[in-house]
Structure 1
Amino acid sequence: MAMLSAVASARAILTSLHEVMASRAGAQAKLNLIVEVIGEKLDSEVCSIYLLREGMLELFATRGLNQAAVHVTRMAVGEGLVGTIAANIETLNLAEAAAHPDFAFRPETGEERFHSFAGVPIVRRERAVGVVAVQHVEPRRYEEVEIEALQTVAMVLSELIANAELIDDEDVLGVPAHLTGHERLKGLTLVKGLASGVAVFHQPRVTIEHIVAEDTEAERQRVIHAFDKMREQIDRMASQAEFGVGGEHEEVLETYRMFAYDEGWTRRINDAIDSGLTAEAAIERVQQRTRMRMRQIDDPLLADRMHDLEDLSNRLLRIVSGQLGTAASMGLKGDAILIARNLGPAELLEYDRRRLKGVILEEGSLTAHVVIVARAMGIPVVGRVKSLRGKVRDGDILLLDGDQGVIDVRPAPALVEAFETRFAKNRERQAHYATLRDVEPVTRDGTRIAVLMNAGLRDDMPALAMTGADGIGLFRTEFQFLVSATLPARERQTRLYRDVLDAAGDKPVVFRTVDIGGDKVLPYLRHNDGETEENPAMGWRALRVALERDGLLKVQARALLEAAGGRTLNVMFPMVTEPWEFDAAKAVFDSQLAFLKQQKKLLPEAIRYGAMLEVPALAECLDVLAPRLSFLSVGTNDLTQFLFAADRANPKLAERYDWLSPAIMRFLRRVVQTVAPHGTDVTVCGEMGGRRLEALALLGLGITRLSITPAAVGPVKELVRKIDLREIREAMDKWLAEPPRDLRSAIAEWAFYRGIECD
C-alpha cells in the first residue's frame, strides 16, 4: 500500500468515524457501526471491540463473529490474545493466531476459521480500557499502515467510551495489572525523613479532549509553532546549563536536541495529522507507539533515550495544548508527594510547604540544588527512581521512607498502619525534643556546649525560637542566588540579611559569603571560558569565584555591612585554602567599610571574621592564620570527600568512608589543638554534628560548638546533658593513640554501657 493511499485510507476511516460519532445513535449502536466501518475500510472479515467492565474484557461489538457472543464472551486481563494486549498495553500482529502461546479458543464466537489476528489497546490516561481487534481467514500479517489506522480508531473509541460512560469507574477499573497492586520502588536517599501522601506529578499529564480535526492545515501550523517553541527551550537550556555541569546532564541535553530536531519524529506526527487527527491526538498517537516500543527494549541505554523522547513529547503536548502550568500553579489539595524528573530549587519553593510532604526524583544527586534546599526545608527526598510514570499514577497513595530510600506505592492497610506507627514515634520524639527548647545544653561536669543551627532561607528563622538553638552557626547566603533567575541586587541582599538579623534578635548569626560554582552552577554566572569542569567539587567555586569576580563579593560585603548597622556582624569565607585568600577577602570588606564610613552610614558595632576549613591544606597553615581569625568553622561534608578523595555525590562511595574513622578524628583533634592557644572558637558545621554518635565523638575531641539542622538541635541537647566531658575525652585520647579496628563500634559500646542513647 503506497504511503499516500495509507494516509488517504486512514483519513477515510476517520471521516467515517467522525460521521458515526456525530450521529444521534446510542453508544451501542455507534460501536456496531464502527466495527462495520473498520472491517470494510481495512478489508478485514472480522472486527471486534472488547471493553473492560467489572474487571473483565467483554465483547461489546463485532463484525464477522457470532452476534450471540456479544456481551457473553468475557476474558480476564492477561487471558488470551485480547487479555494480553490489555495487560501489557501492547499491539499484537500475527499471521497465525493459534501459534501464539497466549492464544485461548472461545467456541461461542465461531472464530476457528480465522487465522490472522491484529489487535491494539484502547488507552485512556495511560490505562487500557479495551481492545479493538481484526481477523482474517488467510494467514497474513497486517500492514504497518493498517496497524496505525487501528491505533487511530482506538483513540477515537477512547473518546467515545469516556463520553458514553460505557465502562465502570476508571479509578477502579481500566487499570493494567501492574498499576493496581502494591509495588515497592528503590532509590537513592537524598534527604532523610518519612512522608506519606498522594502522588502529584510536577508536570501534570495533558488530557486530550478532541481527537478528530476540523482543519488539518490549522493543526499542522499549531504543531510547527509548538516545535519551534520547544526547540527554543532546549537551546536555551543548553546555553544556560540549567541541567548542571558535565557528564550525564550534557548527554541528556544532546539527546533532547537530537529528538527535538529529528525529522522522523516530526514526519510521523505530520502523517498522523494528515490522517485527520488534532495536533494533540497526533502527538499522543506517536507517543503511544513509542511507549509500545519501549516495552520491547532490553537495552537500558536505549530505553533511557526513549524516556527522553517521552519527556519531550509531554513538553510538546503542554506547549500545543496551552496547558503549561506545573502542579504548583494549580495548588496542592492535601498532603502530597511530588514526582518529577528533575526540579530546580525555585520550582520547589513555589509549592505550599504545609502540604508538600516529600519529593521523588527520577534523576537527582546528593549535591543537586533542589536537594540542598529541600534539606534546609526538612522535606525528605529520594532520587534515582527509574520509570516512575509507568509505575505510579496521579493520586496513588505513597509512603516515602527517606531513611531507607524506599517508596511503597498503593500500600496495603497493614503497611500503612506500620508506617503510621513509625511516624507517630517520630512525632512523639519530636514533641519530647520540643520540651527541651528552654533547657541549656550543659554536660554533667558543668561545661556549656553551644548548639547552633544552620539556615539559608528567611522561612528557616522561626525554627530558632522553636528549637531554642543558641544562634545561627551557618547562614548559607547562596540560597538566595540559587533561586533567582538573575544575580540578586544589593538592595534585595541587604533586605534578606537585615530580616534574618531582626528575626535572630540578640542571638548571633554567622553569614557565610556566597558558596557557588562547582556543583551549584548558576546560569548567569559561568566560568569565563564556558568550559565544563571534570571535577566541579574541587573546581572554580566558593571563595575562588568570589575573589576572581570581586564585584560579586563587593556587593555582598556592602549588603552585609549595611544590614548589620549598629550590631555585631559575623562573617566567614568558604573554602579558604591558603591564608592569603582569607586576607584578600577581608580586604574587600575593609574597602567597603571605608566607603560606608565616608558615606556616614550606620556601621556594625563589631565585625568578627572567620574561615571555613573544608580544604585539608588549610590545616597545615592554621598556626599562621589563627591569630587573624575570630572563629573557625569546620565543614565536615566537603572536608571528608577531600580527605578520602571520595566524591560524596557518587552513590557507590556515599556510605563507604566513615566520619568516625581514626583519620578524620585525628585530623579534627589536630585542628582543635592548633588553634587552642589563640583562643579561636571552633565550630563544626554540617551533617556530622547533627548525628548523636558523631556529636559525642566531636565533644570527645574538645569541640564545644556545633551548628546543625534544626531537627537535630533537640536530640543533641539531650545527648549533651548525659555526657561527662572529661570521661569521653580520656576515652577518645586512648582510642586515637591506638585506634581500634572499628572506632564507631567502640564509641557506640562506650555510650551504651553509660545509658547514652545514640542513633
Structure 2
Amino acid sequence: MASFSLHGIPVSRGIAIGRAHLLAPTAMDVKHYLVSETQVEAEVQRLENAVATVRQELQTIRGELPKESPAELGAFIDVHLLILADAMLAEIPLEIIRQRQYNAEWALVTQIDEVSAQFDEIEDLYLRERKTDIQQVGERILKILTGTATTLPELNLDGDEQSSPNIIVVAHDISPADMLQFRNRAFAGFITDQGGQNSHTAIVARSLDIPAVVGMDRASSLIKQDDWIIIDGLAGVVIVDPSPLILQRFREQQAQQIRARKKLGKLKKTRAVTLDGVEITLLANIELPDDCGPAMESGANGVGLFRSEFLFMGRIGEKLHLPTETEQFASYKQAVVAMKGRPVTIRTLDVGADKPLDANEQTALNPALGRRAIRYCLAEPHLFITQLRAILRASAFGPVKLLIPMLAHAFEIDQTLTIITQAKQQLREEKIKFDEAMQIGAMIEIPAAALALPMFIKRMDFLSIGTNDLIQYTLAIDRVDHEVSHLYNPLHPAVLFLLSSVIAMGRKAGIPVSVCGEMAGDVKYTRLLLGMGLLEFSMDPIHLLAVKQEILNSDLEALTTQTKKILRTTEPSAIAAAMIQMRAA
C-alpha cells in the first residue's frame, strides 16, 4: 500500500505512532419498521431497558474514574447522564413508539434527528457542538438495542513493539465515555471523521494529553484495519502507512517533544518575566470549578475567564429548571476558594438566540447578530439578577471580577451597571456579605466596541479581548464553516489594528487589558501580543507553560520595535515574513 496523508482539525498536540483500530461504524443507520399494536408496550420496555443499561454503564465509568483524573472527565459523563435523563431522550421516543408504532431504534433516531436539526441552527461553536453529545448518548443506546459493542483489544504487556504496538483509534466519532473506557488499553491517539475544536471529545483529548485530529471527513473509510499511522496533533496531519524513513523521523520528533515537556514542567513555579525584566500575568480559562486544580498546577496567577455556561448545560428543554441562585453560588464559591486568593474572573451568561436555553425557542434568522449574551440577559432581568447575586455572594470568599460579554453600546453598559447596583442593594438589605469593590469589566469582541473604546474606559474597571469573536465579526467569517474557514486570519491587518488599538488605549488610560481568546494560548502570537504591550494573557491551562517559556525568552523593548513595523504594513506576505523573523529572534 502506498503512503498517503490526510488533513483535519488539530485538537490535541503531540505525536502518536501505532496501528489503526477501526471502531464499528455509526449505529444511526438502523432498520425502520412498524410494530403491531400488541407489541407496542414490549417495544417501549425494550427502549427503557436500553436506556437503563446505558445509565448504569455511565455511572460505572463515572465511579471508576481515578481521583487524580482531570475534572472535565467526570463533568462530561455527568452531562451525558443529564441528557440521558432529559425528556427528549427518556420520554419523547417512548411516545413516538406508542403514537406511531415505530420500532425502538426508529423512534430514537427520529427524535435524535429532530433535536439535532434544532442544534444545527445554533451559530455558537461551543453550543452547536453539544449536538454531538446528544448524538453520542443516542448512539450508546442504539448500540445496546442493536447488540453492537465498542471495544479495543487488550494491551499485551509482554509483547514487543511490533507485536503489540500502541493503538490509533479511527472512528466516525468517539464519545468521551468511550475514550474513558479505553484509557487502560494501548490507546495512543485517535482520528475521527466528525468533531471540532470545542467538542467534548476534543476537550477530553486535551485533558488526557492524547494526540488527536478530528473533522477528517472520510478517514474511517480510507484507513484500513492495522495500517501503520502517525498522528501529528499540532499540525492536524495523519500519515498512513509511512515509509521507514518517515517513521524514524517522527519517532525522533516524538522523543524530542517528550523531553521538551519535561523541561517545561520545571517552569511551573518560575515567574513569567521577560529578558528585560517586565513581569507578565498568566491566567487560566476554565469552564468548571474543578478546572481550578489544573490551573493551579500549571502555575496560573488566577482565572481570567470562567465561562459560566456549563451550569446551564444539559438542561435543554427544561427552561423552568435553570440553576438556582444557590446552585450557582456554590459553584462560583468552589472556584474562588480553590484559587486560594488568586483572582477569579467570572463571565456572565453568554447565551441567547444562538444558544437557546429552551430547545423550543425560535432561532433567530442570523443568531450571531441576534439577541445573545448581554442582550439576552438584559431582556431576561430575573435570570440576570439571579446570576449577579450568586457571583456577588461568592466575592465574599476571595477576589472576584465580573466580566460582561458582547457589549457594544453605552446604554447597554449603563443598564448592566444599574442591574448590578440593584443586586448589590438586595444583598445589603438581606445582610448578605459581598465585595463592595468588586471590579466590573467588559469583553471587547465586537469591532464597534474596539472602535468606541473611550466609552468603555470611562465606565469599566478592566477590559478583556475575546479574539475568537472579534476576528470572526471583523472578517465576517465563521471559522467552522469549511467553505470560508480558510479566510479566518488572526494576522489580518484589520484584526491587528483593532487589537493593538485596544491594548494601547487601555494602557494609556491605566485600565488593565487582557486577551482571553485562543490567540493568548498560541505561542505563534505570544511575542506579537507582547510587542503590542499586552501584560495579561488568559488561556487553557495546558498552554500556559509553553507561553511562559516564550515570555522568558523575549526582550520586550526589541519586540515593541518589531511590532510597530508589522502594524505599519498591510501586505500579508510582509506580515508573515516579519512574524517569522520575530519568532526567530
* Alignment TM-score, normalising by the size of structure 1: 0.57
Aligned to 1:640: 471
Please show how residues 414-425 of structure 1 align to structure 2 within 5 Å.
Answer: 418-425=249-256
Instruction: Give how far 1:614 is off.
Output: 0.7
Aligned to 1:319: 145
Deviations 1:424-480 (A, max 9, x none): 222211111111112112222221111222222344322223322222211222234
Q: Secondary structure at the match of 1:692?
A: coil
Please show how residues 452-491 of structure 1 align to structure 2 within 5 Å.
Answer: 452-483=283-314, 487-491=322-326
Q: Does 1:653 align with 2:484?
A: yes
Aligned to 1:244: 119
Q: Secondary structure at the match of 2:431?
A: coil
In structure 2, what is the Cα distance between the partners aligned to 1:403 and 1:689?
16
In structure 2, what is the Cα distance between the partners aligned to 1:731 and 1:239?
53
Aligned to 1:499: 334
Please show how residues 181-330 of structure 1 align to structure 2 within 5 Å.
Answer: 186-194=6-14, 196=16, 199=21, 201=23, 227-241=102-116, 244-246=119-121, 318-319=144-145, 321=147
Q: Secondary structure at the match of 2:396?
A: coil
Instruction: Give how far 1:701 is off.
Output: 1.2
Residue 554 (structure 1) aligned to one of 381, 385, 390: 385
Residue 369 (structure 2) aligned to one of 527, 538, 542: 538
Q: Secondary structure at the match of 1:676?
A: helix
Structure 1 residues 424 and 459, CA, compared in 2 at 3 Å: closer, same or farther?
farther
Identity in percent: 28
* Structure 2 letter corresponding to 1:502: V
* Structure 2 letter corresponding to 1:188: G
In structure 2, what is the Cα distance between the partners aligned to 1:468 and 1:565?
24
In structure 1, what is the Cα distance between the partners aligned to 2:208 and 2:386?
27
In structure 2, what is the Cα distance between the partners aligned to 1:316 and 1:204?
9
Q: Would you say the 8 A contact 1:693–1:748 is kept in 2? A: no
Residue 743 (structure 1) aligned to one of 555, 572, 575: 575
Q: Would you say the 8 A contact 1:437–1:468 is kept in 2? A: yes
Deviations 1:385-413 (A, max 9, x none): 34555456788775433333333567787
In structure 1, what is the Cα distance between the partners aligned to 2:156 and 2:406?
43
Q: Does 1:721 align with 2:547?
A: no
* Structure 2 letter corresponding to 1:230: E
Structure 1 residues 560 and 669, CA, compared in 2 at 3 Å: closer, same or farther?
same
In structure 1, what is the Cα distance between the partners aligned to 2:156 and 2:473?
44
* Structure 1 letter corresponding to 2:358: L
Q: Secondary structure at the match of 2:487?
A: coil
Deviations 1:463-512 (A, max 9, x none): 22332222221122223433556544443332222222222112212111
In structure 1, what is the Cα distance between the partners aligned to 2:150 and 2:385?
37
In structure 1, what is the Cα distance between the partners aligned to 2:240 and 2:535?
44
Q: Secondary structure at the match of 2:119?
A: coil
- Higher-RCO chain (CA-CA 8 Å, sequence separation at least 6): 2
* Structure 1 letter corresponding to 2:457: A
Q: Would you say the 8 A contact 1:517–1:541 is kept in 2? A: yes
In structure 2, what is the Cα distance between the partners aligned to 1:195 and 1:437?
23
Structure 1 residues 504 and 233, CA, compared in 2 at 3 Å: closer, same or farther?
same
Aligned to 1:676: 507
Please show how residues 350-499 of structure 1 align to structure 2 within 5 Å.
Answer: 358-366=189-197, 368=199, 371=202, 380-387=211-218, 390=221, 399-408=230-239, 418-483=249-314, 487-499=322-334
Structure 1 residues 730 and 359, CA, compared in 2 at 3 Å: closer, same or farther?
same
Aligned to 2:53: none
In structure 2, what is the Cα distance between the partners aligned to 1:546 and 1:607?
20
In structure 1, what is the Cα distance between the partners aligned to 2:375 and 2:327?
23
In structure 2, what is the Cα distance between the partners aligned to 1:518 and 1:375?
29
Aligned to 2:345: 510
In structure 2, what is the Cα distance between the partners aligned to 1:588 and 1:620?
26
* Structure 1 letter corresponding to 2:346: F
* Structure 1 letter corresponding to 2:384: L
In structure 1, what is the Cα distance between the partners aligned to 2:505 and 2:403?
19
Q: Secondary structure at the match of 1:364?
A: coil
Q: Secondary structure at the match of 1:565?
A: helix
In structure 2, what is the Cα distance between the partners aligned to 1:623 and 1:395?
60
Deviations 1:20-42 (A, max 9, x none): xxxxxxxxxxxxxxxxxxxxxxx
* Structure 1 letter corresponding to 2:338: A
Aligned to 1:525: 358
Instruction: Give how far 1:542 is off.
Output: 2.3
Structure 1 residues 407 and 625, CA, compared in 2 at 3 Å: closer, same or farther?
same
Please show how residues 601-620 of structure 1 align to structure 2 within 5 Å.
Answer: 601-604=432-435, 606-620=437-451
* Structure 1 letter corresponding to 2:327: R
Aligned to 1:144: none
In structure 1, what is the Cα distance between the partners aligned to 2:520 and 2:117?
32
In structure 2, what is the Cα distance between the partners aligned to 1:246 and 1:629?
34
Deviations 1:140-193 (A, max 9, x none): xxxxxxxxxxxxxxxxxxxxxxxxxxxxxxxxxxxxxxxxx6875624215141
Q: Does 1:695 align with 2:526?
A: yes
Instruction: Give how far 1:415 is off.
Output: 6.0
Instruction: Give how far 1:378 is off.
Output: 5.3
Residue 710 (structure 1) aligned to one of 516, 541, 550: 541
Taking only aligned residues, the RMSD between alpha carbons, in angstroms, comes to: 4.2
In structure 2, what is the Cα distance between the partners aligned to 1:535 and 1:454?
28
Deviations 1:671-710 (A, max 9, x none): 1233334321000112212223411111111111111222
Residue segments in structure 1 that go unaligned for 5+ positions in a row: 1-180, 207-215, 249-310, 755-759
Deviations 1:58-82 (A, max 9, x none): xxxxxxxxxxxxxxxxxxxxxxxxx
Deviations 1:527-576 (A, max 9, x none): 74x23x45443334322332223333233222222223242211101122
Instruction: Give how far 1:739 is off.
Output: 4.8
Deviations 1:255-289 (A, max 9, x none): xxxxxxxxxxxxxxxxxxxxxxxxxxxxxxxxxxx
In structure 2, what is the Cα distance between the partners aligned to 1:620 and 1:444?
33
In structure 2, what is the Cα distance between the partners aligned to 1:509 and 1:609?
12
The structure whose Rg is larger is 1
Q: Secondary structure at the match of 2:464?
A: strand
Q: Would you say the 8 A contact 2:15–2:250 is kept in 1? A: no
Residue segments in structure 2 that go unaligned for 5+ positions in a row: 29-35, 48-101, 124-136, 158-165
Q: Would you say the 8 A contact 2:193–2:220 is kept in 1? A: no
In structure 1, what is the Cα distance between the partners aligned to 2:342 and 2:138?
50
* Alignment TM-score, normalising by the size of structure 2: 0.72
In structure 2, what is the Cα distance between the partners aligned to 1:372 and 1:541?
24
* Structure 2 letter corresponding to 1:189: I
* Structure 2 letter corresponding to 1:245: D
Q: Secondary structure at the match of 2:103?
A: helix
Q: Would you say the 8 A contact 1:183–1:410 is kept in 2? A: yes
